[in-house]
Structure formats: structure tokens, C-alpha cells
Amino acid sequence: MAPEWALNQPNTAKVYVYGYGVVILEMVRGIRLSNWEVADEYEDEAALESFVRIVKKKIERGSSFWVESFVDPRLKGKFYRKQAETLVKIGLSCVQEDRNKCPTMASVVQTLLECEDDTEVQISNNL
């Protein structure tokens, strides 16, 4: 649930951006948010908050394989890494605590379209 709804604040377009970010992260992980288990020292923290913090730490450390540890394991590594990385980063940007820093839905769509174009180029280069 978007924080605005939980706190009975006025709904804005950012509420829907937040929800879309959650859906993106659920798709990449391959599991509903309500079923997430995050092994972490911050047990009182919500699963989404823990996930966001952990992923941001891994990105900041420059780990080259952080994406693989968060993508649905049922894919067995058969996915486009750049596309998955973009999806995770979009999802993270949508669920930021500071709603003023969240992207607009138009910019989310634009990023997704650019990611799709990049993937099509990768596929044609591999043929």
C-alpha cells in the first residue's frame, strides 16, 4: 500500500507510480511482495524497505552480479541482464520514501521503451 493511503493523505499520481514500482519488483523477483522473505538484520523493517536498502547497497558497492541475486531463480539465468537491471532500478525509483523524488509515469514508460529498444538491438546483434 502506498504510504499516502496508509497515512490518509491526498492521493496523487505518485500513488500509482508507487504501486507500479511494486508490481515491477514483484515481476522481477517472481513472487508477490506479501510473500517476500528478506534475510537481514533489520527484522522490524518491512520486506520492501529491506529489499530496497539491500539492493541499493549492492549497487553502490559496484557488484557486477547484483541483478542475478534478485531475479526470479526459475528463469535459471536466462534473461537479459541489462533489461532486468533497468526494471529493478525503475522499481526502486518508484518506491522511494520521498514521493517528490519519484519519477512520473511518463518517464517510467519512456525508460521502459528505451530498454525494449536496447534489447531488440542486442537480439539482432546476436543473430
Q: pLDDT per residue over 5-29, tens digit each?
A: 555 555 666 678 888 998 999 999 9
- The amino acid at residue 2 is A
Please report the pLDDT score of residue 118 as a whole number: 62
| Number of separate domains in the chain | 1
Distance from chain centroid for Cα 1 = 15
CATH at 72: 1.10.510.10
What residues contact residue 10 under an 8 Å CB cut-off, 6+ apart? 4
What sections of the chain are H helices per DSSP? 3-6, 13-29, 47-61, 81-94, 105-126
Residues 6+ apart with CB under 8 A from 20: 94, 105, 108
Position with higher pLDDT, 90 vs 39:
90
pTM over 0.85: no
The boundaries of the domain holding residue 33 are: 3-126
Confidence bin at 74 (pLDDT 50/70/90) = very high
pLDDT at 60 over 90: no
pLDDT value at position 124? 47
Q: Give CA–CA dist 114/105, Å, rounded.
A: 14
Q: Per residue in 79-125, pLDDT tens?
A: 988 899 999 999 999 988 787 888 999 999 999 888 876 655 454 45
Give the Cα separation of 117 and 35 in Å (integer). 32
